[in-house]
């Protein structure tokens, strides 16, 4: 039976609510076709949640993962007087960290059990503490993948040929990624079960090296990158709004006696597509002896060279590196010229082992990523053409894209052959009514995530910051911001679909109204 083609039949109709995007047992996005569906999801409306075939795997338990949790609960939760819930982590180390997190925040103790398949470890805890444990899963990214859960539920060891194929795919992936970062080798590449797993591994290493010191976040980042720093280690210094691209603010921080275990930023930031002053920050941090970590998920190493400035680069391979949207993974690539290279390289192998890329996931990711560079180049062109067209539309109040926002700073990291990436954000005149009408009508797939080969749209601020909308707005991300990932569709087709959706924007809301 043929699967649904999101190019020809995007996931956007009201009846598509809850469908997996793409049509795969291991999809990492879910269809939220209407503005009200997004709000319903955020408010826990069962009429929305009960339709979900899956969800983004750090936010919604995949059906195989949920089944694994239930199997562990039935096997190990024996205290009938005090009902226990269960989560299953990929390693004992990850499970211990979750238990510590729960105890530090709730006072509740957890029990750990070996699931009996590979290194899977069960965290058993009072039902009242489950939401706290799930926050650890979400923020740390140390997740059990849907394929790993499926294999464990099958209760049979992997076939030796499949193990060998997974090891070979992992080797190929390390080589492939190393070729994207000048001056690195496969030994400098570390692979994890999610992009946040990669970020949290680096964060954990650096905050352990400098216990008690905060990290610093420059420019407004992806939600969990900030939450991770806020809740783990020594906390975070919030430089998410800067006038100087971070340099003046960092100088003030250090001049006042502030320290830092590391500085984190994105190139460009998600969803505001801003880029910090990377050369200026790198100069300050070399003087201060502080590591600099740059996440290049949105731009990709095809477009930018983060290791010109950073001691390590992190990336979510779930996104454009895969493109298909049916596997989660993350990477850390070390800069061999960094003064922190030795310390990071010594510890990261054990971190990688705590949240590893599962062999069958590596096989899928290797296959999906074979034409990565070509796909990046195509999405660069498509997005830039759409941006130029959107600049002419009177319904558009604000438009964010690296070609328009902090362009000089972005170009400082840009490869000679690089482009500006496939992600953009828009705000329409007319407030929430206009945004909702446009979103509900737009005939492109609608759900969380980005980087798919097909275009994917979401009301990003509502999805990521529903409980802190004022906080996000103060940092430049308004409630009605709509994030658009531009895929491989023909630009004229995209413009046609946008034109049709923009006709629904209430009258009298244009720039000249």
Band (pLDDT 50/70/90 cuts) for residue 70 is very high
Domain hosting residue 386, numbered range: 1-51+371-513
- Residue that is last in its domain, among 319, 342, 368: 368
Is 60 exceeded by the pLDDT of residue 400?
A: yes
- Whether residue 449 sits in one domain with residue 470: yes
pLDDT value of position 513: 36
- Please tell me the total count of domains within the chain: 3
Q: Are residues 482 and 401 in the same domain?
A: yes
**Confidence tier at 507 by pLDDT (50, 70, 90):** low
Mean pLDDT calculated for residue range 219-242: 94
> Phi, psi (5° rounding) for residue 255?
-65, -30
Q: How far is CA 127 from CA 65, 81, 92, in A?
A: 18, 12, 21
pLDDT at 423: 98
Which of 368, 399, 415 is the last residue before a domain boundary? 368
Q: What is the pLDDT of residues 344-363, one digit of tens each?
A: 999 999 999 999 999 999 99
Instruction: State the pLDDT at residue 2.
Output: 66
* Average of per-residue pLDDT across 378-407: 97
Q: Tens digits of per-residue pLDDT, 14-65?
A: 999 999 999 999 999 999 999 999 999 999 999 999 999 999 999 999 999 9
CATH value at residue 355: 3.40.640.10
State the pTM of this model. 0.96
Indicate if 364 and 379 belong to the same structural domain: no
pLDDT, residue 511, reads: 45
The answer to whether 304 and 418 are in contact (CB under 8 A) is yes
Which pLDDT belongs to residue 274?
A: 98
pLDDT at 512 over 60: no
Domain shared by 164 and 312, yes or no: yes
Taking residues 281-292, report their average pLDDT.
98
- Is residue 15 a part of any domain in this protein? yes
Residue 56 included in any domain: no
Same domain, 94 and 197: no
Same domain, 466 and 343: no
* 310-314 own/partner pairs: CB under 8 Å, 24+ apart: 310/278, 310/282, 310/335, 310/338, 311/335, 311/338, 311/339, 311/340, 311/341, 311/344, 312/202, 312/338, 312/340, 312/344, 313/181, 314/195, 314/198, 314/199, 314/202
Half-sphere exposure of 30 (CA within 13 A, CB side): 22
Question: Does residue 146 form part of some domain?
Answer: no
SS3 of 242-291: the string is: CCCCCHHHHHHHHHCCCCCCEEEEECCCCCCCCCCCHHHHHHHHHHHCCC
10 within a domain of the structure (yes/no): yes
Q: Which of 2-11, 77-86, 152-161, 327-336 has the lowest mean pLDDT?
A: 77-86
| Residue 409 lies inside a defined structural domain of this protein | yes
| 147 found inside a domain | no
CB of 313 within 8 A of CB of 296?
yes
Q: What is the mean pLDDT of the chain?
A: 95
Q: Does residue 445 share a domain with residue 387?
A: yes
Mean pLDDT, residues 294-307? 98
What is the C-alpha separation between 329 and 315, in angstroms, rounded? 9
79 and 111 share one domain: yes
Looking at the chain, the whole-number percentage of residues with pLDDT higher than 70 is 98
Query: 341 with 274, same domain?
Result: yes
For residues 412-418, average pLDDT: 97
How open is the CA angle 275-215-93, to the nearest 5 degrees?
Answer: 115
Q: Tell me the average pLDDT across 116-123.
A: 97
Tell me whether residue 154 is in a domain.
no
Q: Is 145 among the domain residues?
A: no
User: pLDDT tier at 509 (50, 70, 90 boundaries)?
Assistant: very low
Residue 136 belongs to domain with CATH number: 3.30.70
Q: What is the pLDDT of residues 147-193, one digit of tens each?
A: 999 999 998 888 999 999 999 999 999 999 999 999 999 999 999 99
Could you tell me the CATH number of the domain that includes residue 415?
A: 3.90.1150.10
Residues 191 and 329 occupy one common structural domain: yes
Res 508 pLDDT > 80:
no
Statement: residue 488 has pLDDT above 50:
yes
- For residue 496, pLDDT beyond 60: yes
Residues 28 and 75 in one domain: no
Q: Summarize pLDDT for 74-111 with one digit per residue, the tens.
A: 999 976 678 899 999 999 999 999 999 999 999 999 99
Last residue of a domain, one of 347, 368, 389: 368
For the chain, what percent of residues have pLDDT higher than 90? 95
Q: Do 222 and 272 share a structural domain?
A: yes
pLDDT at 80: 60
> What pairing do the DSSP bridges indicate for beta strands 482-485 and 456-458?
antiparallel
pLDDT reading at 127 higher than 80: yes
């Amino acid at each position: 039976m043929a699967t649904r083609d999101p190019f020809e039949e995007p996931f956007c109709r009201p009846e598509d609510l809850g469908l997996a995007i793409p049509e795969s047992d291991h999809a990492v996005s879910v269809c939220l076709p209407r503005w009200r569906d997004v709000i319903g999801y955020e408010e826990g409306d069962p009429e929305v949640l009960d339709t979900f075939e899956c969800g983004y795997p750090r936010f919604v338990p995949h059906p195989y993962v949920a089944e694994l949790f239930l199997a562990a609960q039935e096997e190990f939760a024996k205290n009938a007087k005090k009902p226990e819930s269960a989560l299953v982590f990929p390693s004992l180390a990850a499970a211990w960290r979750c238990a510590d997190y729960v105890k530090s925040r709730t006072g509740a103790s957890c029990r750990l059990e070996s699931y009996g398949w590979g290194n899977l470890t069960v965290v058993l805890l009072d039902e009242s503490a489950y939401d706290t444990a799930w926050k650890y899963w979400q923020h740390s990214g140390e997740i059990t993948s849907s394929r790993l859960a499926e294999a464990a539920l099958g209760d049979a060891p992997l076939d030796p040929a499949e193990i060998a194929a997974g090891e070979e795919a992992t080797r190929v992936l390390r080589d492939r990624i190393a070729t994207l970062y000048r001056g690195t080798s496969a030994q400098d590449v570390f692979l994890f079960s999610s992009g946040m797993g990669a970020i949290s591994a680096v964060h954990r290493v650096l905050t352990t090296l400098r216990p008690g010191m905060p990290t610093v976040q420059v420019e407004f980042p992806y939600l969990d990158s900030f939450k991770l720093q806020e809740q783990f280690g020594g906390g975070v210094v919030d430089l998410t709004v800067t006038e100087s691209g971070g340099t003046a603010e960092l100088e003030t921080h250090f001049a006042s006696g502030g320290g830092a275990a590391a500085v984190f930023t994105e190139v460009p930031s998600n969803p505001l597509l801003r880029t910090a002053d990377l050369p200026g920050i790198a100069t300050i941090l070399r003087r201060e002896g502080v590591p600099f970590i740059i996440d290049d998920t949105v731009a990709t190493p095809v477009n930018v060279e983060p290791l010109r400035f950073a001691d390590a680069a992190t990336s979510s391979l779930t996104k454009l590196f895969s493109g298909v949207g049916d596997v989660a993974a993350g990477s850390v690539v070390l800069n061999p010229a960094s003064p922190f290279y030795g310390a990071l390289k010594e510890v990261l192998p054990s971190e990688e082992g705590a949240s590893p890329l599962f062999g069958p996931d590596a096989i899928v990711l290797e296959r999906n990523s074979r034409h990565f560079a070509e796909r990046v180049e195509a999405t660069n062109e498509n997005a830039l053409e759409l941006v130029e067209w959107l600049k002419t539309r009177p319904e558009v109040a604000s438009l964010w894209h690296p070609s328009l926002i902090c362009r000089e700073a972005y170009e400082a990291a840009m490869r000679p052959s690089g482009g500006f990436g496939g992600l953009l954000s828009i705000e329409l005149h007319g407030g929430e009514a206009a945004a909702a009408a446009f979103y509900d009508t737009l005939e492109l797939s609608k759900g969380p995530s980005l980087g798919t080969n097909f275009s994917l749209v979401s009301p990003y601020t509502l999805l990521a910051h529903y409980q802190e909308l004022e906080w996000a707005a103060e940092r430049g991300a308004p409630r009605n911001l709509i994030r658009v990932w531009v895929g491989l569709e023909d630009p004229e087709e995209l413009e046609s679909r946008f034109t049709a959706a923009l006709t629904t924007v209430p009258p009298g809301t244009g720039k000249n109204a």
